[in-house]
A and B are shown apart, each in its own frame.
Chain A
Amino acid sequence: MTRVRTVLLPPALAIVFAALLCAIALVISGDSPFTALAAMITQVGQGTTAIDIVNNSAIYYISALAVAIGFQMKLFNIGIEGQFRLAACVAAIVGGTLVLPPVVHTIVILLVAAAVGAAWAGIAALLKAYRGVSEVISTIMLNFLATGLIAFLIRDEVFGDQQGNNISTTPIPPSGQFPGIPFGSSGTLFGMVFVAALLGLGYWFLLNRTRFGFELKASGESPTAATAGGVNARRMIIIALLLSGAVAGLVGLPELLGRDLAYTLTSPQGYGFTGIAVALLGRNHPLGIALGALLWAFLDKSALALDAVGVPREIVLIMQGSVVLSVVVAYEIVRRYELAAEQRRVAAELRAAAEKVAA
């Protein structure tokens, strides 16, 4: 009972609150909240929307997992953005260059992406562990550096190809692609969706069943107690950021290996920052993040549907912003309340036990 209350009630309340806020915003701007809601719900059944939502949420999910690994020990890896873009770019270059048999080719691309993401995050990790540089600052800086590095890598005379007014890397041959599941006119489900699910499972296992997961959580909860308990703080910082970067490296791959096949000037951006919001929404829990990613992707898609019925699409941004804020606030309130309630309950149970003994 208490478990249901602490885990499910806060997000439910937060979503209701955010929806109310949006409804008010809609009414003020002279639109009907019901029209908007109807448009948002009916869009799911139309065209490729359902598949698109799942595909996008897989991307958000991987990104949020990368953020969550850092969050577990209170490390704020803002650099997912740079890590994933650089990793996708290098993976596209390597994938387009190598000639390898199917499966092996795909796996090599995945590994390259993870390694590049880890290496890029590793710079921040080393700076933090050995020089005490805040990972927030260094990863933000590394995001800018990644943008510059990518621009260099895909230049015509380096690894890129000028095609019209776009620049692209050499496309990855079919042997390196990650096959999806076609649903006819409803679209194609990225094969990487299953990789994302496996990553979630691995994350859960690592966190709850292994020594590394315990050390990660202990370092986040109390660095002093972790140190006294024999956890090597410096090692944990390095491993956590490397792992976060490796997962971040995979963020760009669902689209790269399932649709785009090459890294271009117009390759997507912003997933790294979406991941932060989704990780907050999902409270770093693998299932919570999955639900958060689905919600986020659903809201993203709703922007188009709302445009179609003449409702301003910016309402989606209001919803996304307010839902994250309310979830964070709601969990904090519930956490404090639950701790106080547990302390009262323990005290009451012990008092009752003591009276029974005395009687």
Chain B
Amino acid sequence: MPAAEFAVELAGITKRFPGVVANKDIDLKVRRGEVHALCGENGAGKSTLMKILYGMQQPDEGTISVDGSVVRFRSPSDAIKAGIGMVHQHFMLADNLTVAENILLGAEGMHGIAGGARARIAELAETVGLDVDPGVLVERLGVADRQRVEIIKVLYRGARTVILDEPTAVLVPQEVDELFETLRGMRAEGFTFLFISHKLDEVRAIADAITVIRRGMSVGTADPATVTSRQLAEMMVGSELPSPETRESTVTDRQVLVVEGLELAGEGGGRALLAGVDLVVRAGEVLGIAGVEGNGQTELVETIMGMRRASAGTITLDGTDLTKRTTLERREAGIGYVPEDRTRHGLLATQSLWTNRILGYQSRSPVSKGGLLGLIDRAATRRDTQRIVDEFDVRTPGIEVAAAALSGGNQQKLVVGRELSGEPVLLIASHPTRGVDVGAQAGIWEELRKARARGLAVLLVSADLDELIGLSDTIKVMLRGRLVADADPSTVTPEELGAAMTGADAAPAPAGAGE
């Protein structure tokens, strides 16, 4: 084993995408046999950095060293050869194959496919604490066991350094504890882990060292033994960040959105995605939905928008029952929708800005002239697009450029501007400032505040707890498809909210879980 101090060392990594710098001069040093946490907000550049380390993308500048020698990864297979493996947040397993087959798939050359392989798999299953028969189909395994299979997959391929991308996002608290036990055991055997997370309590519980990145830059390292979650949060968010605080309450007693008993069945008869969701959003009120990703927030929003069919329950907007209406009819009834993924759900990337103005408004003034043919009023659409560009400070040379040419923040401002057009009565905003720069973030918050003051009802879903606490008048916590708790944004702290989100309601934060 070479004597280099660092298992992995990234120096001066810079990666540019058109319009944004995803990583700027990032340094990261991971000692052998440690669990090194990489913290940062969504969109801070964690994933890009890990994709670079795993060979999925090539850095524009900077070097990667493994065990002290500089390497160049042209593909993940180069990284695997150098002993680096990655466990993705979304598992990449074939459900209809057995555990052993999933592990062997693509690695048949390592130990053959017979006795040698079986012995090695048994050995690794021991290491990661996987207690199932390797002959069982993966579709029968729970989430935690699937994760173990993923870890075995990378170990089987010879990884000594394992990147874990948000490994706890899909786990319940007890499973998180078990995972941490496993990681500690493996660390003692000399494995190195890069642990990506934005859950600060977990990071402090498991990590030996912490590197924080913000807006694509490394802002420093921290010692988990001494740092507090508050300090870490400040490092992640930065002091220059504008505060999302809203001022005096504008909540009225007019109920705009009333959702009652909403249910959404799971695909293929699985666990229900939404169960008994009741909520009310009043005019002038921002209702925040907090929750660990994957607990039904996306499904809630898409069901209210009519993109998914509710299996039970009613959705009422301003007294009109929308339950059976189409997405377009719901939009026409006055719902604006800022989707969580603007490139997938909010924009037509290759189309011009003014063509994008049509999306969701194709049946209404000023876009449509109406009539049997549904003529598009191109002049009025262009004019209104220019208005959005001016009012919402979308930085663009014109409205004829393709949406893809704008930076993420400006794309988002265009989407927010569009969805606030046509005097909506309800705005559904999913992660409205995810992956946008600080300036755009402040602008979007300001627009949401202004709209709220005009009497707009807002349903806000966000993973950014500061944003949620700052903007909301009421917060509801979502866990496994249910609204499980209410929180008062004027008193709740991100830590308390985080605990409620994981279902560890009354229990203290799991900071000392390791001792």
A binds B: yes
Residues of A within 8 A of B (CB): 209-215, 217-218, 221-222, 224-232, 339-340, 342-347, 349-350, 353
The digit string for B337-361, where 1 denotes a CB below 8 A from any CB of A, is 1010000111111110001001110
How many B residues face the partner with a CB closer than 8 A? 42
Chain A residue numbers with a CB within 8 Å of B349 are 221-222
Which chain A residue shows the least CB distance to B326?
Answer: A232
Which chain B residue shows the least CB distance to A347?
Answer: B19
| Residue from B348, B360, B374, B402 within 8 A of A212 (CB atoms) | B374
Kindly state the separation between the CA atoms of A221 and B355 in the bound complex, as whole angstroms. 12
Whether A210 contacts B375 in the complex (CB less than 8 A), given A218-B348, A340-B18, A343-B404, comes out as yes
Which chain B residue shows the least CB distance to A346?
Answer: B405
B406 at the interface (CB under 8 A from A): yes
Chain B CB count within 10 A is highest, among A214, A217, A230, A232, for A230
Chain A residue numbers with a CB within 8 Å of B15 are none
Chain A residue numbers with a CB within 8 Å of B18 are 340, 343-344, 347
Chain B residue numbers with a CB within 8 Å of A218 are 348, 351, 359
Kindly state the separation between the CA atoms of A224 and B327 in the bound complex, as whole angstroms. 12
Check B348–A225 contact: CB distance below 8 A: yes
B421 at the interface (CB under 8 A from A): no
B396 at the interface (CB under 8 A from A): yes
Chain B residue numbers with a CB within 8 Å of A345 are 397, 405
Which chain A residue shows the least CB distance to B374?
Answer: A211
B376 at the interface (CB under 8 A from A): yes
Cross-chain pairs A/B with CB under 8 angstroms, 18 sampled: A209-B375, A211-B375, A211-B376, A217-B348, A222-B349, A225-B345, A225-B347, A228-B307, A229-B328, A229-B359, A230-B328, A230-B331, A232-B328, A339-B402, A340-B18, A342-B402, A350-B396, A350-B397
B441 at the interface (CB under 8 A from A): no
Known: A211-B362, A230-B362, A343-B405. 4 other contacts (CB 8 A): A214-B376, A218-B359, A231-B327, A232-B326
Check A228–B345 contact: CB distance below 8 A: yes
Check A339–B404 contact: CB distance below 8 A: yes
Check B348–A221 contact: CB distance below 8 A: yes
Check A225–B346 contact: CB distance below 8 A: yes
Chain B residue numbers with a CB within 8 Å of A213 are 376
The 4 A-B pairs with the shortest beta carbon distances in the complex, nearest first, are A230-B328, A211-B374, A343-B18, A229-B359
Closest Cβ of chain B to A225, distance in Å, is 5
Interface residues of B in 368-383 (CB under 8 A from A): 368, 373-376, 378
Check A214–B358 contact: CB distance below 8 A: yes
* A contact patch SS: helix
Chain B residue numbers with a CB within 8 Å of A230 are 326-332, 360, 362-363
B305 at the interface (CB under 8 A from A): yes
* B contact patch SS: loop
Check B406–A346 contact: CB distance below 8 A: yes
Kindly state the separation between the CA atoms of A11 and B397 in the bound complex, as whole angstroms. 29
Check A221–B350 contact: CB distance below 8 A: yes
Closest Cβ of chain B to A276, distance in Å, is 23
Closest Cβ of chain B to A208, distance in Å, is 8
Check B328–A231 contact: CB distance below 8 A: yes
Chain A residue numbers with a CB within 8 Å of B328 are 229-232
Chain A residue numbers with a CB within 8 Å of B363 are 211, 230
Whether A210 contacts B405 in the complex (CB less than 8 A), given A218-B359, A228-B337, comes out as no
Closest Cβ of chain B to A124, distance in Å, is 24
Closest Cβ of chain B to A87, distance in Å, is 25
Residues of B within 8 A of A (CB): 18-19, 305, 307, 326-332, 337, 339, 344-351, 355, 358-360, 362-363, 368, 373-376, 378, 395-397, 401-402, 404-407
Kindly state the separation between the CA atoms of A229 and B358 in the bound complex, as whole angstroms. 9
Kindly state the separation between the CA atoms of A224 and B355 in the bound complex, as whole angstroms. 16
Kindly state the separation between the CA atoms of A230 and B404 in the bound complex, as whole angstroms. 21
Kindly state the separation between the CA atoms of A227 and B302 in the bound complex, as whole angstroms. 10
Chain A residue numbers with a CB within 8 Å of B307 are 227-228
Whether A229 contacts B362 in the complex (CB less than 8 A), given A221-B351, A342-B402, comes out as yes
Kindly state the separation between the CA atoms of A131 and B422 in the bound complex, as whole angstroms. 37
Which chain B residue shows the least CB distance to A352?
Answer: B397
Chain A residue numbers with a CB within 8 Å of B330 are 230
Closest Cβ of chain B to A193, distance in Å, is 26
Chain B residue numbers with a CB within 8 Å of A339 are 350, 402, 404-405
Kindly state the separation between the CA atoms of A238 and B259 in the bound complex, as whole angstroms. 32
Whether A349 contacts B397 in the complex (CB less than 8 A), given A211-B368, A225-B359, comes out as yes
Closest Cβ of chain B to A220, distance in Å, is 9
Kindly state the separation between the CA atoms of A210 and B375 in the bound complex, as whole angstroms. 4
Closest Cβ of chain A to B457, distance in Å, is 19
Check A214–B19 contact: CB distance below 8 A: no
Chain A residue numbers with a CB within 8 Å of B406 are 346
Closest Cβ of chain B to A45, distance in Å, is 43
Check B373–A210 contact: CB distance below 8 A: yes
Kindly state the separation between the CA atoms of A212 and B402 in the bound complex, as whole angstroms. 21
Which chain B residue shows the least CB distance to A222?
Answer: B348
Chain A residue numbers with a CB within 8 Å of B373 are 209-212
Whether A228 contacts B401 in the complex (CB less than 8 A), given A221-B350, A340-B18, comes out as no
| Residue from A225, A232, A350 within 8 A of B344 (CB atoms) | A225
Chain B residue numbers with a CB within 8 Å of A343 are 18-19, 404-405
Check B395–A350 contact: CB distance below 8 A: yes
Chain A residue numbers with a CB within 8 Å of B19 are 343, 346-347
| Residue from A217, A228, A342, A349 within 8 A of B327 (CB atoms) | A228
Kindly state the separation between the CA atoms of A212 and B363 in the bound complex, as whole angstroms. 10
Which chain A residue shows the least CB distance to B329?
Answer: A230
Check B360–A228 contact: CB distance below 8 A: yes
Which chain A residue shows the least CB distance to B378?
Answer: A209
Kindly state the separation between the CA atoms of A224 and B374 in the bound complex, as whole angstroms. 22
Closest Cβ of chain A to B128, distance in Å, is 36
Closest Cβ of chain A to B43, distance in Å, is 19
Chain B residue numbers with a CB within 8 Å of A221 are 348-351
Which chain A residue shows the least CB distance to B418?
Answer: A229
Which chain A residue shows the least CB distance to B308?
Answer: A227
Chain A residue numbers with a CB within 8 Å of B407 are 347
Kindly state the separation between the CA atoms of A339 and B404 in the bound complex, as whole angstroms. 8
Check B362–A224 contact: CB distance below 8 A: no
Check A224–B345 contact: CB distance below 8 A: yes
Which chain A residue shows the least CB distance to B18?
Answer: A343
Kindly state the separation between the CA atoms of A345 and B344 in the bound complex, as whole angstroms. 24
Whether A215 contacts B396 in the complex (CB less than 8 A), given A343-B404, A343-B405, comes out as no
Closest Cβ of chain A to B101, distance in Å, is 27
Closest Cβ of chain B to A260, distance in Å, is 35
Chain A residue numbers with a CB within 8 Å of B395 are 350, 353
Kindly state the separation between the CA atoms of A217 and B405 in the bound complex, as whole angstroms. 19
Kindly state the separation between the CA atoms of A339 and B402 in the bound complex, as whole angstroms. 8
Closest Cβ of chain B to A303, distance in Å, is 38
